[in-house]
Amino acid sequence: MPRFDKIAFVASETKEAAEALAKLTKQYGNADFAEANAIVALGGDGLMLQTMHCHLNSRIPIYGMNRGSVGFLLNDYHEDNLRERLKAAEITVIHPLRMTAYDERGAKHEALAINEASLFRQIYQAAKLKIAVDGKVRMDELICDGILVSTPAGSTAYNLSAHGPILPIDAPLLALTPISPFRPRRWRGALLPNDAKVRIEVLEPDKRPVSAVADHTEFRDVVEVEVMEESGIDILMLFDPGHSLAERVLAEQFGY
């Protein structure tokens, strides 16, 4: 079991987070990321996602404490006994999505998404999309505001707001969810195995331009997007006992 004698802290720019950073650094020190046994993120879910993106390949466990607003990915904030809390914490391993997008000039763009990879209409015109899964066309034409592919970790975020399903955190699944579908109007999306490769072709891109977004990275005027799980990257998240991400995802389905 790690000793957690070297903790690296990162904080958002809010007053609450800055004050917490000063107090915790004084009490526990602040190790360099290269030497840290754990990273403690002080802020909201946005900072937690940013921290995970910054340390995708480090395999350093990340423990968030809520000094922001939402805090779904975070633990409660307490200053005392931090090393003991880290030792007792439960580890959740998640994998990001790899989004590969090709724009109208033929340029290739890649980005990783922890929550979801999304396509959005850029103007007032609805997007027209063709959807293929593992090389087989499953929908010749979807007219919509957009579509997203969500990980289990991201299924309670934008995916849920778009009426997509909540996925158990350890489910080997991805959610394919339309955003404001017009035709077919009643299509609510699909559940896919986590090793599926989703290819989305933009129809009429000159008339109906579309952008592609992986979490907070955007590419505009795309004509084709591929999304698949990057199973070779493990992101290690730490949660207090009884408050794991799996428990939070399950509780979300019962409205609390």
Identify residue 186 by its one-letter amino acid code.
R
* 45 catalytic residue (yes or no): yes
Q: Where is 251: in which H helix or E strand? A: helix 245-252
Other C-beta atoms lying within 10 Å of the C-beta of residue 42: 27
- 3-state DSSP percent of the chain in helix, strand and coil, to 5: 20, 40, 45
Q: Which of 5, 45, 134, 140 is catalytic?
A: 45
Sequence-ordered list of residues with C-beta below 8 angstroms from that of 128, at least 6 positions apart, any chain: 141, 142, 143, 202, 203, 204, 208
- CA 40 to CA 66: how far, in whole Å? 10
Let me know: does 119 contact 210? Beta carbons within 8 Å: yes
Which phi and psi (to 5°) does residue 71 adopt? 80, 20
| Residue type for position 71 | G
Q: State how far the Cα of 11 lies from the Cα of 238, in Å rounded to an integer.
A: 17
Residues 6+ apart with CB under 8 A from 132: 138, 198, 199, 200, 201
Evaluate whether 211 touches 233 at the Cβ level (below 8 Å).
no
Q: What 3-state DSSP class applies to 244? A: coil
Active-site positions read 45
